């Protein structure tokens, strides 16, 4: 039995597990916070792809909660994919609260460290940890990504330290920094005009000429968890479809204005 632990039940995490199925993974444990039904929904999708899947609830910002969940999971873990659902409370500096700032860091960077610490005893030699980051960690995509982008940057720095810590045990730790991805959360968070602008922008600035899909990122995550890339650890793989290398006249360089008032609260 080969187990993947998904911290988060979003489209990218689920797509990553689906892509991992070809590598012999047959058990998935999905961790979500609170009493959300998202974990059960993700398990239903994974079951359709041949997984024995189970959902567990925990608070990723609470290391004791993560440790308690890890203690309940039997058997070794071959992969840990960290893609938690954040509050997505996008606000510029003048509207940003300390609580929102702390929460972003606790959920993304702190939660990653807490999850790795909790599951480290279960990670087998040759196992992989992959954290999901984003291009907001590398450049200012909008004024409202201050907390999110800073937290994702902290995730990427933590990845290097975690890779050093787990390297002697034969466990690799990497991150994937993607550009915008057409997930259900993004679709809900933008009004129709904003979504059209996002698709148009990505069509202009990416080599494939479209907005990324969850499976695009999922395949990269699965590859990082596979033996073919065992020589890679402590790295952040930028997966933006080439947008970061396109010349300025290929389209706008930020997401400014894409988030509607509704989307800022999504």
Residue 88, Ramachandran bin (φ over 0: left; ψ between -120 and 50: alpha; else beta)? left
The CATH number of whichever domain residue 206 belongs to comes to: 3.40.50.720
pLDDT in tens, 80-120: 999 998 767 789 899 999 999 999 999 999 999 999 999 99
What integer pLDDT is reported at residue 238 of this predicted model? 96
What integer pLDDT is reported at residue 50 of this predicted model? 95
- Beta-strand pair 52-57/27-32: parallel
Q: Give the C-alpha separation, 131 to 82, whole Å.
A: 5
Q: Give the C-alpha separation, 15 to 101, whole Å.
A: 29
Tokens of 112: 């990653």
Burial class (CB in 10 A: 0-12, 13-18, 19+), 117: middle
State whether residue 83 is helix, strand or coil. Answer: coil
pLDDT in tens, 243-254: 988 876 654 444
The residues pairing with 3 across neighbouring beta strands, listed in sequence order, are 27
- HSE toward the beta carbon, residue 242, CA cutoff 13 A: 11
Domain that holds residue 102: 3-264
- Which residue has 């890779």 as its token pair? 163
Nearest to 237 by CA among 149, 165, 139, 130: 130
- For 139, residues 6+ apart whose C-beta sits below 8 A from its C-beta are 244, 253
Tokens of 27: 């058990």
Tokens of 15: 């797509």
- Residue spans of the chain under pLDDT 50: 251-254, 257, 260-266
How many structural domains does the chain have?
A: 1
The residues pairing with 236 across neighbouring beta strands, listed in sequence order, are 175
Largest CA distance in the chain: 53
In this structure, are residues 153 and 177 in contact, taking their beta carbons and an 8 Å threshold?
no
What integer pLDDT is reported at residue 265 of this predicted model? 30
Query: What angle separates helix 38-48 from helix 11-20, to the nearest 10 degrees?
Result: 30
What integer pLDDT is reported at residue 37 of this predicted model? 83
What integer pLDDT is reported at residue 249 of this predicted model? 62
In this structure, are residues 107 and 84 in contact, taking their beta carbons and an 8 Å threshold?
yes
- SS (HEC) of 89-154: CCCCHHHCCHHHHHHHHHHHHHHHHHHHHHHHHHEEEEEEEEEEEEHHHCCCCCHHHHHHHHHHHH
């Amino acid at each position: 039995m080969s187990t993947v632990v998904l911290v988060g039940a979003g489209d990218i995490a689920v797509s990553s597990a689906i892509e991992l199925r070809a590598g012999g993974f047959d058990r998935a444990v999905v961790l979500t916070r609170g009493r959300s039904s998202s974990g059960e929904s993700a398990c239903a999708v994974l079951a359709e792809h041949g997984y024995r899947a189970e959902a567990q609830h925990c608070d990723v910002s609470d290391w004791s909660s993560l440790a308690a969940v890890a203690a309940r999971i039997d058997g070794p873990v071959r992969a840990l994919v960290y893609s938690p659902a954040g509050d997505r409370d996008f606000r510029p500096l003048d509207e940003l609260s300390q609580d929102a700032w702390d929460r972003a860091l606790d959920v993304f960077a702190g939660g990653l460290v807490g999850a790795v610490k909790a599951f480290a005893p279960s990670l087998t030699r040759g196992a992989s940890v992959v954290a999901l980051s984003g291009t907001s960690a590398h450049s200012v995509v909008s004024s409202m990504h201050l907390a999110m982008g800073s937290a994702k940057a902290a995730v990427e720095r933590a990845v290097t330290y975690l890779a050093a810590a787990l390297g002697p045990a034969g466990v690799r730790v990497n991150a994937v920094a993607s550009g915008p991805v057409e997930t259900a959360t993004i679709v809900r968070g933008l009004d129709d005009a904003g979504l059209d602008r996002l698709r148009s922008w990505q069509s202009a600035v990416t080599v494939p000429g479209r907005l990324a899909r969850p499976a695009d990122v999922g395949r990269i995550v699965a590859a990082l968890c596979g033996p073919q890339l065992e020589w890679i650890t402590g790295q952040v793989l930028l997966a933006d479809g080439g947008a970061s290398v396109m010349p300025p006249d290929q389209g706008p360089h930020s997401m400014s204005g894409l988030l509607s008032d509704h989307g800022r609260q999504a």
